[in-house]
A and B are shown apart, each in its own frame.
Chain A
Amino acid sequence: MSMLQVELPGLSLKNPVMPASGCFGFGREYSQFYDLNRLGAIMIKATTPEPRFGNPTPRVAETPAGMLNAIGLQNPGLKKVLGEELTWLEQFETPIIANVAGSTETDYIEVAREISKAPNVHALELNISCPNVKTGGIAFGTVPEMAKELTMKVKAVSQVPVYVKLSPNVTNIVEVAKAVEAGGADGLTMINTLLGMRLDLKTGKPILANKTGGLSGPSIKPVATRMIHDVSQQVSIPIIGMGGVQSAEDVIEFFYAGASAVAVGTANFVDPLVCPNIIDRLPALLTELGFGHISECMGRSWKANEKLTYNRA
């Protein structure tokens, strides 16, 4: 068996590396650069029932070792995603994780029910953490009880396992993670972007038309690492980790923290080939570090602590 093969609910991954939702469109642009079959999976752009234009521009602003975005869930709507984007993606064997978004509970349920019927959609990613829309999005992800209820309702209609995408913009992410696990989530994806702002030196006003945006990129990696570390010890469902990953070393670090697969977001904008480059580098890196299989890295940060405690006793 390959050193990189990973089995997760609904997902048999030839490697644990996938582009993160919102950073890869529906794959068409990146297919100019490499064969999308190389990817472990693809997390497609958030889909809402109706088409959305999203927020006014400017929608992005660079920050130290990162960027803010406030795209606002622009997407062609459920019908076109099913009829055009997912059918186009059928030429690849790569499993698709469909990111489900909306303004209301009904929106989420409708998208989840329909998109989970697509033959290449192997899992859903329930987006209750988008910071850039006025209604829905993050509102469902910050109150544990609401997150749990929505998870239950989506689980009830989905044909495939449901992963819930958690927001870091909460006081206690473990609480939200436990709530969605209790609601029947099959896995977690974390973290979504951190809410931030950048002001223009000349005008004193926010650069983003939406004023606030979601911070991503290498600058948020330590936050993601800490949160994956904390959550993975408190839940028994797997975590797909994301937040500033740009190298094979970062993938290993997220596994150490407690992730079972890793998504790459902003780094795709910097290097379109970042995902295949990471996948190519991983086996040699694992060997250098003395691992026979990537799963051996999982949770090493806290498993090592347990061992230490045992030795002391």
Chain B
Amino acid sequence: MIKNEICTVVSQEQIADSIFELTLKGELVSEMSQPGRFVHVKVTAGAEPLLRRPISVANINPSESQFTMIYRAEGRGTQLLAEKKPGDGVDILGPLGNGFPVEEAEAGDTALLVGGGIGIPPLYELAKQLTAKGIKIIAVLGFQSASAAFYEKEFAQLGETYVATIDGSLGTKGFVTNVLTSRSILADVLYACGPIPMLKALETSHKGQKAFLSLEKRMGCGIGACFACVCHTAEDPEGHSYKKVCSDGPVFRAGEVIL
């Protein structure tokens, strides 16, 4: 069930260039279980900025009623969020959307997790849940540079982890796709979240394989009412059938929607 609650800041820490890790406490954590879902955050009361910000859930801690978001403080809204201190309240609507299907991998399988930049956070909760089920994970994480990199150690604790940076300051120089082509990684299922060009490349390279992609789009309501974040479906690419990223997604089976 979707809840609206003023959650309390437990901790907030800058973990890389413009990247913040924010842990909140609230009863709505009891509604969170599937990885890859998101919450809609009102960063301030009042009309400026007006709209909520969709931010993915990076870590769920049900026993403490806490969850963690990792976000980039880029625009005015997320910069205001970055100023929140422990004890402050944050207006959260969620959890929203449909996340990564953990059930698509079975114990003994290998899952490939590919994330680009701020697309990486939801893969962390996914990695935790997959490894807990006895699934081997291989993570390939892409960043701009070493100073923008985060959570590579946390992923490495859960499984084999490779990093790519565009400037080559950490790991392989280039994109996550450079890592994938240089090493032939075999996996039973692919889960990915990141920029559209990355998702398109993965959709092509993993054609016919079991793959799930998480999309990002400018959203309004976050619950499926406003039709801001629609995309065409693959079976009717020019027609009027559609999926909403906020409520049908953000995670789709590769090939289901037009990226």
Contact = CB atoms under 8 A, between A and B. Distances in A.
Interface stretch (A64-72, A106-114, A224-232): A64-72
A218 B218 contact: no
B42 interface: yes
Contacts of B1: 32
Contacts of B52: 269-270
Contact of A64 (B48, B93, B224, B231): B48
Contacts of A64: 48
Dominant secondary structure of chain B at its interface with chain A: loop
Contacts of A57: 217-218, 228-231
A22 B50 CA distance: 18
Given A69-B226, A269-B52, A270-B51, A32 B218 contact: no
Interface of A: 22-25, 28-30, 32-33, 45, 51-54, 57-62, 64-67, 69, 71, 74, 76-77, 217-219, 246, 266, 268-273
Closest 8 CB pairs of A and B: A269-B221, A25-B225, A65-B47, A51-B240, A60-B228, A29-B225, A218-B47, A53-B240
A172 to B, nearest CB: 29
Dominant secondary structure of chain A at its interface with chain B: loop
Contacts of B222: 269
Contacts of B48: 64-65
B242 A53 contact: yes
A29 B247 contact: yes
B220 interface: yes
Contacts of A53: 230, 232, 239-240, 242
Contact of B227 (A28, A74, A218, A271): A74
Interface in B49-104: 49-52, 93
6 contacts: A51-B240, A59-B218, A62-B49, A62-B51, A66-B50, A272-B93
B50 to A, nearest CB: 5
Interface of B: 1-2, 4, 42, 47-52, 93, 217-232, 239-240, 242, 247
Contacts of A25: 224-227
Contacts of A76: 240
A30 B93 CA distance: 13
Contacts of A24: 225
A52 B241 CA distance: 9
A60 B225 contact: no
B38 to A, nearest CB: 15
A30 B4 CA distance: 13
Nearest to B49: A62
B257 to A, nearest CB: 12
